[in-house]
Structure 1
Amino acid sequence: MNESTFAPGGGQPGLAEHAAGLPGEDSGTRLQAVGSVAVRTFEARLAADRDSDLPEHGLSYAEFPYGSYDDPDAEYEPDPEYAATLAPDAARQRRERVGPTGRPLPYFPIPAPLGEHGPAQIIAMCNQKGGVGKTTSTINLGAALAEYGRRVLLVDFDPQGALSVGLGVNPMELDVTVYNLLMTRGMSADEVLLKTAVPGMDLLPSNIDLSAAEVQLVSEVARESALARALKPLLPDYDYIIIDCQPSLGLLTVNALTAAHSVIVPLECEFFALRGVALLTETIEKVCERLNPELRLDGILATMYDSRTVHSREVLARVVEAFGDHVFHTVIGRTVRFPETTVAGEPITTYATNSVGAAAYRQLAREVLARCPAA
C-alpha cells in the first residue's frame, strides 16, 4: 500500500493548488470533476509529485494557507486500497462529503497563528481498556497541534511510561519524573520538563515509580487534586496540556479527570472496547458531580478502524447511534506506520509527514481546535 497519497503539508484541501499557483492552472491534467467536487486523482497526485519542486518534508506552518485561502471544495483522492479502510463507498463519500461515521463531514479550516499563548486547555486522553490508541493519539494529536503553532505539553500519567518511550525517552534512565512532581514538596515542573524533537511540544515523563503514587496518595489530603495542583503553574505557558492516562479507573485516572477541562475517549472499533465506554462515562459523571464540575466529554475518537470488516462498521455505527455528536468526525484507520513510529520514537507527522495517518491526525487537530478551543 502506498502511504504517501496526500499533498505536502498533510493533504490540506487546496494546499497544493495554492502552493503551485491558481487552482485553475493546468487543471486539465491534474483535477477532474466528480459531481460538484474537484478531486485530484491518485494517478494525477503521483504525477504531480514527480513534477513538484516542493521540499520532501512538505510546507512549514508559516507557509500554510488559512482563512479565505482555503478551498473547501478541493479534495484529494487517496490510494484506493486505503480508501477502502475508511469508507465502504469512497465515491459516495467524496460526492456527498459523507465521513466514515455516516454523517456529513464538516470542513475544518487550517487555524490562524496565535498572537499570544495560554492559559492552557487540559485534555485527558482516557479509556480504562488498554491497547485502544490512547498513547498514539496523545503523541500525534499533540504534534499536530504544535505543527499548527500551538504550545503543547504532554503528560505521561501511566506507570508503563509508553508516552515517554514513544517520544524517544528511556524511562529507566530518568532521575526525576512526574512522580517526583506529585510527591516531592517544593519541586518545580521545570526540573522535570523535557523538550521533545517537535518544536513547541514538551513532555512530563513517567516511569514505574508512578505506580507508588497511587498508594502514597491515599493518605494525602485532597488526593484527587494532586495533579491539578502540580499543573497549575504551567497553565500560562501552554495552549494545550494532554494527559495520557493509564488503562484503569484508579486514583491516577481520577486525578487526571479532576485536573482536566475535557476528556477524549479513544475507542478501538471492537466489541470489547465498546462495552467499557458505559463504565467510563459513569466515572466521568461522578467526577463531574463530586470533584470537577467543569469537566466535559469532548468526544469519542474511533481508532483502528477498517471498514472492510463488518464488525468495525457495526461498532462505529453503534457508537454514533449512542453518542451522536460526541463522536469525532475524524476516524483513525489502521496503518503499519503507527507501530513504526513507536520504534522510531517520534510522531507520525514527522516520521511519515505525507502519510494518511499524519493527515488523519492533522484533521483531528483541526477538529479539536473547533470543539475545545484554548481559553
Structure 2
Amino acid sequence: MNKPKYRIITIANQKGGVGKTTTAINLATALAAIGERVLIIDLDPQGNASTGLGIDRKDRKLSTYDLLVGNNTVAEVAMPTVVPNLSIAASTMDLLGVEMEIGHENDRVFKMKKALQHSDANVYDYILIDCPPSFNLLTMNALAAAQSVLVPLQCEFFALEGLSQLLETVDQVRRTVNPALDIQGIVLTMFDSRNNLAQQVVSDVRQHLGSKVYQTLIPRNVRVSEAPSYGKPAILYDLKCAGSQAYLQLASEVIQRERQSRAA
C-alpha cells in the first residue's frame, strides 16, 4: 500500500470547554483558505463541529458512525461545507451507541484508521479529527488513526492538571496501539491579557513544555463565540477579529511543524 500523502491530526482534550471544536473548525478553515484540501471528522456525539459548519441535523444522512462500523467510505460520508476546500464527516447521536456496536471486536480501536486508509481519503491534504471531551473508544480510535495530536488548553488554573492527564493518555496510546503518534503542539486558548492568572498559566506551560507550545495565543473573543450560532467559522463570520487572525497564525505554525515532521 502506498503511503498516504495526507496528514491526520487529532484534536483532543479530556476536559470540556477548552475551545477544542472551535479550534478544529477555525484551524480547518484557515488551512482551506490557503488552498489545502481539508476534511473534519466529527467524532463527538454532540456534533458541535457539524453544527458550527452549518450542517443541519436533518441533512446528516450518513455520519462518522457509518465510517466506524464499516458501512460506508469517506467519499460517501463526507459533505461539503460553506468553506471552499473544506468537507466534513458529520456526527449524529448514533455515535452514542457505537461502543456497544463494535466494543466486542478485536480491531475496535482501529476502525477509524481502517476507514481512513481507503484510497478515497487521498483527495485531502489534512484530516482533522474532533474528539469528545473524554477518553473513550471514540477518542481511542482518533488517536490510533492519527500521526499527531493537537491539544487546545484553556488559560485557567486547572489547565496543567488536565494536561498532565492527557499527556499520560498519549503515552499510553503510543505504548499500546500507535507508536508513531506525536504531539503536534499545545495551543493556548481563551487567553485574556488583562488576567494575571492567564499570563501565569502561559508562563508555566511554556516552562514545562517548551517548544511543544505554539507561539500563537488564541484570545477570548466575542466574535469567535458568536460564529457557531450562524453556522460559520469565525474566519468567515469576521475575518478581521482578533480570534480569526490568531487562527490564521496558528495554521501557519501547524503547516511549518508538519513540514518539519515530514522532512525528519
* TM-score > 0.5 by shorter chain: yes
Match of 2:108 in 1: 223
Match of 2:52 in 1: 166
Alignment partner of 1:258 out of 138, 144, 168: 144
Equivalent residues in 2 for 1:325-344, closer than 5 Å: 325-344=211-230
Match of 1:203 in 2: 88
| 2-structure distance, mates of 1:192, 1:266 | 27
SS at match of 1:168: coil
SS at match of 2:153: strand
Which amino acid is 1:182 matched to?
L
| 2-structure distance, mates of 1:135, 1:368 | 16
CA separation of 1:164 and 1:282: change in aligned 2, threshold 3 A: same
Alignment partner of 1:272 out of 150, 158, 164: 158
Q: CA contact under 8 A between 2:159 and 2:201: conserved in structure 1?
A: no
Matched, 1:318 2:204: yes
**Aligned residues with identical type, % of pairs:** 44
Q: Give the drift of 1:184.
A: 4.0
Q: Which moved more, 1:252-261 or 1:307-316?
A: 307-316
Which amino acid is 2:212 matched to?
H
Q: Say how many residue pairs are matched.
A: 257
Which amino acid is 2:91 matched to?
S
Q: Give the drift of 1:215.
A: 2.4
Q: Which moved more, 1:172-181 or 1:267-276?
A: 172-181
| Structure 1 runs, 4 residues or longer, greater than 6 Å off | none
Match of 1:358 in 2: 244
Q: CA contact under 8 A between 1:159 and 1:210: conserved in structure 2?
A: yes
SS at match of 1:329: strand
| CA shift digits 1:256-276 (9 cap, x unpaired) | 000000011000001223211
Q: CA contact under 8 A between 1:330 and 1:364: conserved in structure 2?
A: yes
Which amino acid is 1:199 matched to?
P
| 2-structure distance, mates of 1:368, 1:343 | 27
Q: Which moved more, 1:123-132 or 1:230-239?
A: 230-239
| 2-structure distance, mates of 1:330, 1:254 | 27
Which amino acid is 2:94 matched to?
D
SS at match of 1:270: coil
Q: CA contact under 8 A between 2:54 and 2:82: conserved in structure 1?
A: no
Match of 1:139 in 2: 25
| CA shift digits 1:274-332 (9 cap, x unpaired) | 21111110110111121111100111100000121111011111111111110000110
Matched, 1:236 2:111: no
- CA-atom RMSD, angstroms? 1.4
Structure 2 segments unaligned to the other structure (5+ residues): none
| 2-structure distance, mates of 1:212, 1:299 | 31
Q: Give the drift of 1:170.
A: 2.2
Which amino acid is 2:123 matched to?
D
Q: CA contact under 8 A between 2:68 and 2:111: conserved in structure 1?
A: yes
| 1-structure distance, mates of 2:70, 2:128 | 22
Q: CA contact under 8 A between 2:74 and 2:121: conserved in structure 1?
A: no
Q: CA contact under 8 A between 1:119 and 1:235: conserved in structure 2?
A: no
Q: CA contact under 8 A between 1:152 and 1:241: conserved in structure 2?
A: yes
Q: CA contact under 8 A between 1:123 and 1:263: conserved in structure 2?
A: yes
CA separation of 1:184 and 1:122: change in aligned 2, threshold 3 A: closer
Q: Which moved more, 1:227-236 or 1:243-252?
A: 227-236
Which amino acid is 1:167 matched to?
L
Q: CA contact under 8 A between 1:335 and 1:357: conserved in structure 2?
A: yes
Match of 1:284 in 2: 170
The structure where strand makes up a greater share of residues is 2
| CA shift digits 1:190-213 (9 cap, x unpaired) | 221100111111000001110111
The structure where helix makes up a greater share of residues is 2
Match of 2:235 in 1: 349
Matched, 1:152 2:48: no
SS at match of 2:8: strand
Q: CA contact under 8 A between 2:191 and 2:220: conserved in structure 1?
A: yes
Match of 1:293 in 2: 179
| 2-structure distance, mates of 1:353, 1:309 | 25
The structure with the larger Rg is: 1
Q: CA contact under 8 A between 1:132 and 1:273: conserved in structure 2?
A: no
| 2-structure distance, mates of 1:184, 1:301 | 33
Matched, 1:304 2:178: no
